Homo-oligomer: A and B are copies of this chain.
């Protein structure tokens, strides 16, 4: 049912089809360069709720409902789902999704969650465990800032390397049957730690994880960067993207021509005061579901590698003197169902 190319790299023999996908964002994301691509925008940062955590739960549920309705599916059609988010105890997922009554595998990969979920979901569908599997993740500026950095009302100055946590969510339904776009394969990430300790420089913490998983996939599949229309990273931002280029150049790999970073794409740093770019699980999830999957459906792109990156930062243990490890999982998404790599 699948081809195992190395310890952590797979190619699927029955590539799961992307049956539906949806993106939901807040006002700032809708005002950015990708605004027209997103399915739903709610200008109310509370999404009709009275706390930010409840707002993010509502946001995530809205992404799932939108993905289901676009494919005329009911929640009961989904075999099971993979979901997680940044709020402690993955609150947005467990509270946001409970009324759907879909069996749930909770996952935690920080901002790599969309790639981790897509990989697990594709593994499950390819192997026949699910006919339809869903994955979803989200982030919210206000839940993340107070949990990981400062209370918003503190009004702290943001450093040049800091990123802006997106209020956004993305959801994808994979199907055992159907046409392209589909998930051809992927790679499981390994925790990587280059000794970064600055909670306002997540891009630097995550770049080594992205470099590692991209190098592994290219090497094992014997492909080169220009075989892809885009090699997409999650939320390295301007600072992390530059470090990624440096790290890959040391291995003799130049991805600059095809590299796109969701964190760089989602905001206009010059006019939106977002410093190094966007971040959060919802950043890469909404840009994948809003922009890249539409480009794959339209035929404007044929093959992308999607490597969402997660900083596995615990504010408590960083205060105890620890560094910030990171992880990045990768999936290969194609508009050609039967493509075989060279």
Contact = CB atoms under 8 A, between A and B. Distances in A.
Interface stretch (A83-91, A149-157, A162-170, A227-235): A83-91
A178 to B, nearest CB: 18
Contact of A193 (B98, B191, B316): B98
A312 B89 contact: yes
Contact of A95 (B1, B314, B315): B314
A83 to B, nearest CB: 9
**Oligomeric state, in copies:** 2
A89 B314 contact: yes
Given A4-B129, A84-B106, 6 more contacts: A1-B127, A8-B103, A88-B316, A104-B327, A107-B107, A123-B129
A244 interface: no
Contact of A80 (B1, B103, B124, B188): B188
Contacts of A109: 105-106
Interface stretch (A250-258, A260-268, A290-298, A317-325): A317-325
Contacts of A84: 106, 108
Contacts of A101: 190-191
A145 B105 CA distance: 25
A189 interface: yes
Contact of A51 (B54, B193, B313, B320): B320
A220 to B, nearest CB: 13
Given A88-B314, A129-B2, A129-B10, A191 B325 contact: no
A299 interface: no
Interface in A63-116: 79-80, 84, 87-91, 94-95, 97-98, 101-110, 116
A7 interface: yes
A53 interface: yes
B79 A7 contact: yes
Nearest to A127: B127
Contacts of A322: 54, 95
Interface residues of A, number: 56
A127 B123 contact: yes
20 contacts: A1-B127, A7-B80, A8-B79, A10-B129, A53-B316, A84-B108, A87-B314, A88-B89, A88-B315, A91-B314, A98-B191, A98-B325, A104-B188, A105-B116, A106-B107, A106-B108, A106-B116, A106-B327, A107-B108, A123-B124
Contacts of A325: 94-95, 98
A171 interface: no
A317 B54 contact: yes
A128 interface: yes
A239 interface: no
A236 interface: no
Nearest to A78: B7
A227 B191 CA distance: 42
A84 B327 CA distance: 14
A97 B90 CA distance: 21
